[in-house]
Structure 1
Amino acid sequence: MIRTLRGWAIVRKPEAARKTRRSRIGCVRASIVATIRRLAACAVVLAGLATPALATTIGVAMVQPTGFTQLLRDGIESYAKSVPGVSVQFTYAPEGAGATQVEQVRQFIAAKVDALLILPVDPQANATITRLAQETDIPLVYANNGPREDWFAGRIAFVLPNDLVAGRLQMRKLAQMLDGKGRIAIIAGHPSHSATALRTRGVKEVAASFPGLSVVAEGAADWDRKKAAALVAGWLATGIALDAIVANNDEMAIGASDAVEAAGLPSDRILIGGVDATPDGLKAMQRKRMAVTVYQDAGLQARRAIDDALKLIRRETVQQYDWVPFELVTDRMSTTHFSK
């Protein structure tokens, strides 16, 4: 019996040890597998942190921001921040500095931005900018200003206001306020911007339809408030009698109002109209220093420009001319509404 028991002990003891070892090995293997899985998961997370997501970059070449173009620039930046994975880079050039803007576009292309957003500074440079985009097959969006042709090959779009309509709206309201009779002066913007010619043309078309209206003075102030004030001060100093001053933008209209005030004339003696409905323009209307302005939606232009650029990047169909509407602003209720 003892031998037999010892025999069992000799036989069964190694078998129990083997089971114990197998159990321990199994536990160790499970622990190693779990550790490997945890390390692999951490590696994936760390890799994701170490490798940033590729951003879509839009290069914006534009005029020096001031007045309405400042609103447009801020709208572009703000909307781009709200779109995941989109960033914008800005460069600036003075009005008329076409060579500078062309070089900025070349630098954007060399940096491999995903799209170009251009607020032109010189119409003579537009053809070169368009050609560069076409040759490199990079999406190009002109905003607020740009060439006006029937069609362009390549991934090109235009987000533009109809400036001819702005001039017509502005002048028609002023003509109504003058009962169709009076002497008017026109202050034009910078000659490099298409809005200057189109808004002025719209003003003159409407004025010509009223036999009692006559244009007695005209000059350019390059969108600038101080230049407009100096221009109007010169007119008043030479004894030119005016019933209305029609300016291509609000900044020049405010300058005209400054000159009228400096001359000691009542604020309602000469009706003054502007375009853009900038915050300063709306304040001038509320203070009765301006009679009319025309609302140009900078935020809408910015959003459409970014959206069109992103669609072109994805090679989606985009309406080549994306027109942005104007809206006449004439009373306190309207100015309060547009100030929001």
Structure 2
Amino acid sequence: MKKRLAVLLSIIMTFVILSGCSSNKTTASNNKIKILLSISDGSDDYRKLIVSNAKSYAESQNIDITVKDAAGSIESQVEHMKEAVSGGYNVIICAPVNPSTALELERASKGIPIVFMNSKPEDKLLEKDKYIYVASNEEVAGKLQAEYIIDHFNGKKDIKVVLLKGEKGHNASKGRSDAVKQTFKDNGINAEYVFEDNADWSRQKAKEMLNIFLATGKKFDCVIANNDSMALGVVDSLLENHIDPSSIPVLGVDATSDALKAVKNGTLGVTVYQSAKGQSISAVKAAIKMGSGDSLSGIENLTTDGKFIWVPFEKVDKSNVDKYIN
């Protein structure tokens, strides 16, 4: 009996020791996760926020993250994928320069999991726990913008709209713009787009475009821009042309710090809060799990198919802007 008890105790002790070793091994593995973030931040304030928030959160979790600037080059971004392979990275966070290159990026990464963000690949290229997309649902932003204009003009059915879009082919440009148009249509609004063009997310380009438009003397009721940088460029143009921005609804998306100040002082009618912090933290959280070989099941805002993490949009106007100002 004593002999059997001794054997049983020996087995239990061995199990405890092995369990402890296994636990320590898992912790050490998690601490060694290396993330490569490939993005073109350029002059886009929102993408800069993505980078700063991703770095800040990763560092708070003792995770090694390296940021690579693709500088708008597809070739550079493909090289970043290859560097992730040769550099022993466990997972990649990637804002594609062009979403149509997603398959090429996946092939170049040779099986390393990728968290895509900011520019959406085709759904068929996404795969649960391996290739996912983190963002906010772009159609919601456009819908919120159009609804604001409908409420502002309360009962007016004919509205002349200036629509400034982001980069041509970018999913946010298409999603937001299409949703604006569809929301007007669904509400019986006859929206006439007196000027519509791609200002490529740029404040300077938007300003120059509106200057040219104003020179035509055409009438317009509002300006809807796909992001805050372009909306602020519109405000710059109006001020230069001695037009009071508060007299014309100008709308943006992202709720950047400059845009929030403009909403508060009345020069910007509304922005739509797209949480760069929320998206960045969600992307890094997903990357940590994927880099560890874990399932994303249970992560906040994950869709049922496991391919998307949608971070909610929120409308910001003068009535609630103080809530978003740090």
- Fold match by TM threshold 0.5: yes
Q: Does 1:77 align with 2:55?
A: yes
Q: Identify the residue that residue 303 of structure 2 maps to in structure 1.
A: none
Give the corresponding residue for 1:200: 177
1:93 to 47, 58, 70: 70
2:325 equivalent to 1:339: yes
Q: TM-score w.r.t. structure 1 length?
A: 0.79
Separation (CA, whole Å) in 2 of partners of 1:338 and 1:228: 25
- Is residue 159 of structure 2 the alignment partner of residue 182 of structure 1? yes
Is the 8 Å Cα contact of residues 223 and 251 (structure 2) preserved in structure 1? yes
The residue type paired with residue 203 of structure 1 is: V
**Residues 170-221 of structure 1: CA deviation (Å, up to 9, x unaligned):** 1111121022442111000012421011111111112223334322110111
Letter aligned with residue 70 of structure 2: A
**Structure 1 counterpart of 2:295:** 317
Does the residue aligned with 1:339 lie in a helix, a strand or coil? coil
The equivalent residue for 1:307 is 285
Provide, for residues 65-105 of structure 1, a one-character-per-residue CA deviation record: whole Å limited to 9, x for no partner: 43111111100000001103x1110111233x212211121
Q: In structure 2, what is the equivalent of residue 287 of structure 1?
A: 265
Aligned to 1:163: 138
TM-superposition CA deviations, 1:272-315 (whole Å, max 9, x none):
00000000110111111110110001111111101111111222
Q: Which whole-Å deviations, capped at 9, do the CAs of 1:130-154 have from their partners, x for residues lacking one?
A: 2233xx3211100222213156347
One-letter code of the match for 2:61?
V
Q: Distance in 2 between matches of 1:263 and 1:54?
A: 56
Tell me, in whole angstroms, the C-alpha distance in 2 between the residues paired with 1:54 and 1:220: 43
Identity %: 28
Q: Tell me, yes or no, if the aligned pair for 1:311 and 1:317 is still in contact at 8 Å.
A: yes
| Aligned equivalent of 1:296, options 274, 296, 304 | 274
Q: Select 1:329's aligned residue among 291, 316, 319.
A: 316
What is the aligned partner in structure 2 of residue 64 from structure 1? 41
Quote the residue 2:17 is aligned against.
Answer: none
Once residues 193 and 63 of structure 1 are traced to their aligned partners in structure 2, the CA distance between those partners, rounded to angstroms, is: 13
Q: For the Cα contact (< 8 Å) 1:121–1:193, is it kept in 2?
A: no
- 2:280 and 2:223 map into 1 onto residues whose CA distance is 30
1:221 corresponds to which residue? 199
Deviates more, 1:218-227 or 1:200-209: 200-209
* Root-mean-square deviation (Å): 1.7
1:301, 1:324 within 8 Å by CA — same for their partners in 2?
Answer: yes
Q: Tell me which of 114, 133, 137 is aligned to 2:111.
A: 137
Measure how far apart 1:124 and its partner are.
2.9
The equivalent position to 1:232 in structure 2, one of 173, 188, 210, is 210
Aligned partner letter, 1:320 = K
Q: Distance in 2 between matches of 1:54 and 1:182?
A: 56
- Paired residues of 1:244 and 1:270 also in contact (CA < 8 A): yes
Larger Rg computed on CA atoms:
1
Consecutive unaligned residues of structure 2, counting only runs of 5 or more, are 1-29, 297-305
Distance (whole Å) between structure 2 residues aligned to residue 211 and residue 297 of structure 1: 30
Of 233, 236, 240, 1:262 maps to 240
- Judged with a 3 Å threshold, the aligned counterparts in structure 2 of structure 1 residues 240 and 101 are, in CA distance, closer, same or farther, namely same
For residue 122 of structure 1, the aligned residue among 98, 120, 140 is: 98
Residue of structure 1 in register with 2:13 after alignment: none
Deviation of 1:238 (Å): 0.6
| 1:245 counterpart SS class | strand
| Alpha-carbon distance in structure 2 between the residues aligned to 1:228 and 1:111 | 40
Secondary structure (helix, strand or coil) at the match of 2:123 reads coil
Given candidates 250, 264, 269, the residue that maps to 1:272 is: 250
Aligned residues: 283
> d(CA) in 1 for partners of 2:189 and 2:134?
36
